Chains A and B, each alone.
Chain A
């Protein structure tokens, strides 16, 4: 099972990213996904977590992820060295930041790309970056999931965000 932990702040769309990623993965035949937010009331600006679990078989374990394959931070201020303990061996942390720290995490400047595309949040940018570094899901499937689960007027922008981020991150 591949487990992704999303960290963001209320309003940044961490859960939307968790859900779109799950929906995209589940489009593959025989592939299953679960996506859920950190439970409870959410407040704008407060730290939030979201989870995506991906597997080749039906997923019956609904418990919170204890060790993740990928931890994605939509907001660099949420980074702390303790996050390393939440990784499986070989797991990776991907941070939206301009400050590279290759010892600790993979850096991706999602803010700049979102700015170019005039997107107010970076969730789909980071989703594309994850696809680029991991290959766990194709850009095509992410586009199909965006078409199915995002409001029509923001689809195209988010689809180009995914595409550009995936290309940039894969380099």
Chain B
């Protein structure tokens, strides 16, 4: 059924369809209305879940972990400083192999205080052991809510999953969304079954210590499980397309990249505008392309390098900066390009920090400067040449 929904509302609809048993949340700013909508669904009986109202984000994820350790499907959501406050628990959840799904509204981090959109919150947590996906629109948000559980809970994966929605630009923007039926969702998503749970019939030690003699094995297993998610993502998308008729493209979403000379690599909701500009440039004879990274973890190193292999120059546009170095997405992309032996120059464009609008002109200028070779290695959109050095 088609509805006119915000990204937040669409995601909450997706979670309702995924039928989590426990939802734990702390509903204060910078939280979004996702958990508010879910609490209404629990209240009106359309979602049969335990809604646990906790006193902080740290507790929200701890509580979800407790639920997952009891063997049930758990959900929580956060944003910005809330995610950072959760950081300690992120590692517990991934190390404990609890396949929790969490929605994160990508919002700026303090100081200066700002709750507008950028991606510095989640990108700071790439090493926490969570699968990280970035949605582009409300439909993909809803669909990821369903697919995330399929992937996270898959026996070969057992890894928590963070679905990222750009703050405001996606979370607060209304658009048409096809909301599937519970029957369709039930056909797609099997009930959660695990042996990684507290079970009086089969007592075992969970969340234990592991010294230097074995610790590295656990870490290696987390790493390996993340790679095993890649074929599971493909499997989930294939099954999803069969049932819902929408086909996704795995870790990356490539647009006109096959023969492109100039490729802009980015993630999240800005990709649409980038594709539009690339299309316009093509009409003027410039072979432009856009590659949207859908998953930052597992990182699509091989797929990405293959997709951009024709490029004469590359731009990486991201709403993030690792102070004293460059954007973190750029670092990851460069590593992949280097690994594939690519030598085309790559330039980093930092934009949209603290919610600053990225305009048509900004995207056009990115393509112009990588084409002319006048871009610097790291460029801050909106900051002049003299301040940029």
Contacts and interface: CB of A to CB of B under 8 A. Distances in A.
B172 A36 contact: yes
Given A60-B272, A64-B357, A40 B173 contact: no
A61 B273 contact: yes
A128 interface: no
Contacts of B359: 63-64, 66
Interface stretch (A27-35, A69-77, A114-122, A163-171): A27-35
A39 B4 contact: no
A62 B4 contact: no
A60 B276 contact: yes
A1 to B, nearest CB: 10
A66 B276 CA distance: 16
Contact of A62 (B3, B115, B116, B169): B169
A22 B174 contact: yes
B4 A149 contact: yes
Interface string A133-151: 0000000000001001100
Interface string B267-284: 001111101100000000
A39 B116 contact: yes
A61 B276 contact: yes
Which residue, A37, A39, A40, A149, has most C-beta atoms of chain B within 10 A? A39
B246 interface: no
B4 A40 contact: no
B8 to A, nearest CB: 12
B358 A33 contact: no
A34 B173 contact: yes
Interface in B280-299: none
B284 to A, nearest CB: 18
Interface in B142-179: 167-170, 172-176
Interface string A32-52: 111111011100000000000
A159 interface: no
Contacts of B269: 62
A35 B174 contact: yes
B279 to A, nearest CB: 10
B173 A36 contact: yes
B273 A62 contact: yes
Interface in A52-66: 59-64, 66
Given A36-B168, A39-B116, A60 B273 contact: yes
B357 A59 contact: no
Nearest to B136: A60
Nearest to B170: A62
B325 to A, nearest CB: 28
Q: How large is the interface on B (under 10, 10 to 19, 20 to 34, 35 or more residues)?
A: 20 to 34
A19 B271 CA distance: 23
Interface string A101-136: 000000000000000000000000000000000000
B169 to A, nearest CB: 5
A59 B168 contact: no
A95 interface: no
A23 interface: yes
Given A26-B4, A60-B272, A63-B360, A40 B174 contact: no
A23 B116 CA distance: 25
A22 B117 CA distance: 23
Contacts of B273: 60-63
B115 A41 contact: yes
Nearest to A145: B4
Interface string A14-27: 00000100110010
A157 to B, nearest CB: 21
B355 interface: yes
A22 B4 contact: yes
Contacts of B270: 62
A35 B3 CA distance: 13
Contacts of B4: 19, 22-23, 26, 33, 35, 145, 148-149
Interface string B220-236: 00000000000000000
Nearest to B363: A63
Nearest to A51: B173
23 contacts: A19-B4, A22-B4, A23-B4, A26-B2, A26-B175, A26-B176, A33-B4, A34-B175, A35-B174, A36-B169, A39-B117, A39-B167, A39-B168, A39-B355, A59-B175, A62-B269, A63-B358, A64-B357, A64-B359, A66-B359, A66-B360, A148-B4, A149-B4
Given A39-B355, A66-B359, 17 more contacts: A32-B176, A33-B176, A35-B175, A36-B169, A36-B172, A36-B173, A39-B116, A41-B115, A60-B273, A61-B360, A62-B173, A62-B272, A63-B273, A63-B359, A64-B359, A66-B360, A145-B4
Q: Which 7 A-B pairs have the closest CB atoms?
A: A60-B272, A23-B4, A39-B168, A36-B173, A35-B174, A61-B273, A64-B357
